[in-house]
Amino acid sequence: MRTVLIAGAAALGLAGCGGGTSADADGDGEITSAEVAEKAEEMVKPEAGQYRATSELVELEAPGAPPQAVELMRGMMDNSFEYCLTQEEADRGFEEMARESQDSNCTFEKFDVNGSAIDAAMTCTGDGQGTMRMTMQGTGGRTSSEMTMTMVGNVAGQGEGRMVMKTSHERIGDCPA
């Protein structure tokens, strides 16, 4: 599950891309880490500063999961936190994050960007948790982004299920001194 969320975060950052084409540059039907990284180089770099990130679990179908497990997952997914994006991190942009997502157990099936919009699909295989397919649609810019992620597969080791999450990141000021 952690791998899926990290990869989703990487794609979230990629929503600020300015191109209007798929990352599948050679048209072979596979999107390699090099192609994702190349697409990431075209992106608008985020603005340094203090950000607030929020996530909301919109839907959770986990057949066979006890109600306590569902509530525990909801509590883990519904949250808000703040973080500082330093100038150094902002200067690196999202290319490094894109490379890290591809180095995990995830592969992109689709990665289309158009202006500030993203439409992507990826499949991740977790250690002992089976396969999870995630689709992502959203928008992003230099200081904010919004993403809806739909994950279908083995939900937290509880069997086949479906989870829909909404996330947003918003610049709220300068980093604390």
Q: Is the pLDDT of residue 8 over 80?
A: no
Q: Is 70 helix (H, G, I), strand (E, B) or coil?
A: helix
Residue predicted with more confidence, 6 or 62: 62
Is the pLDDT at 95 greater than 70? The verdict is no
pLDDT beyond 60 at 111: yes
Number of other residues whose CB lies within 10 A of the CB of residue 41? 11
Rounded Cα gap, residues 86 and 73, in angstroms: 31
State the DSSP code for 43: S
Q: pLDDT band for 31, please (50, 70, 90 cuts).
A: confident
Whats the size of the chain, residue-wise? 177
The pLDDT assigned to 97 comes to: 55
Q: Identify the CA nearest to 174 among candidates 58, 54, 87.
A: 87
